[in-house]
Chains A and B, each alone.
Chain A
Amino acid sequence: MKEIKYTIQDPLGIHARPAGMLTKQAALFKSTITLDTGSKKADAKRIMAVMSLGVKQGAELTVTVEGEDEEEAASAMEAFLKDNL
């Protein structure tokens, strides 16, 4: 299992568009990818679940990745967060 921590920089947080992009990225991998805000968890491959986290700027997000392609998935998710959020 791999774990990434990332603090959201985007002033608008994870609204609809970034949620869609994040989900699309996560769907490229076989691994189970979970987002955890500390109070709520979501499957990163489900758009509605990701949106319902209500992630705001400054929130610390923990991403856990588990599965056969977890190495690539974790680095791709980390790169995605840094580039987009």
Chain B
Amino acid sequence: MGLFSGFGKKKGMILDAPLKGECVSIKEVSDPTFSEEILGKGVAIRPVDGKVCAPADGEITTMFPTGHAVGMTTEDGMEVLIHVGIDTVSLKGEGFHIVAKEGDHVKKGDLLMEADLERIKEAGFDTITPVIICNSDEYKDIEGINLAMVEVGDPILSISK
């Protein structure tokens, strides 16, 4: 039985990595908003590349004007938030280049925005990037499945209804 054995049955779903880096437990994020799962369940990625890509096909629901976070609703109905760095809202857009906009229909792997990781670090911010399912309470279980170095498109979360 392979990784995609549940595919098409709608029971088990997989979310892929939106950026390249080390995928870790959400508990490793210093901000309790994430580590205590107030925004939902998920994992975090310590990025080694600032390109943030769509983790699934879907629609951009929220693109913060500061570019530090993006939310999308996948075709499966998952509301995914990708939040690049901690407290990076206060950079007011510095170090972030927005590509996609609200309402855009995107395909898995499409570039959504690009973060200048060095610039963000130089400004004194942690670049760890929580990848969260905001509507977690609609699912039975959400689990990190690849706590290791991941490339864009590698599976990181297993979601069951």
Which A residues contact B (CB, under 8 angstroms)? 12, 15-17, 19-21, 24, 46-48, 51-52, 54
Contact = CB atoms under 8 A, between A and B. Distances in A.
Given A16-B39, A21-B38, A48 B65 contact: no
B77 to A, nearest CB: 11
Given A15-B69, A15-B89, A20-B39, A51 B81 contact: yes
29 contacts: A12-B89, A12-B90, A15-B66, A15-B69, A16-B33, A16-B39, A16-B64, A16-B83, A16-B89, A17-B33, A17-B39, A19-B39, A20-B38, A20-B39, A21-B33, A21-B38, A47-B40, A47-B79, A47-B81, A48-B62, A48-B71, A48-B73, A48-B79, A51-B62, A51-B69, A51-B71, A51-B81, A52-B61, A54-B64
Main secondary structure of the interface of A (DSSP, over half): helix
A75 B33 CA distance: 23
A15 B70 CA distance: 11
Contact of A48 (B38, B66, B83, B134): B134
B118 interface: no
Contacts, number: 54
B116 interface: no
A20 B73 CA distance: 17
Nearest to B136: A47
Contacts of B79: 46-48
Given A15-B69, A16-B33, 11 more contacts: A15-B64, A16-B64, A17-B31, A19-B39, A20-B38, A24-B38, A47-B134, A48-B71, A51-B69, A52-B62, A54-B62
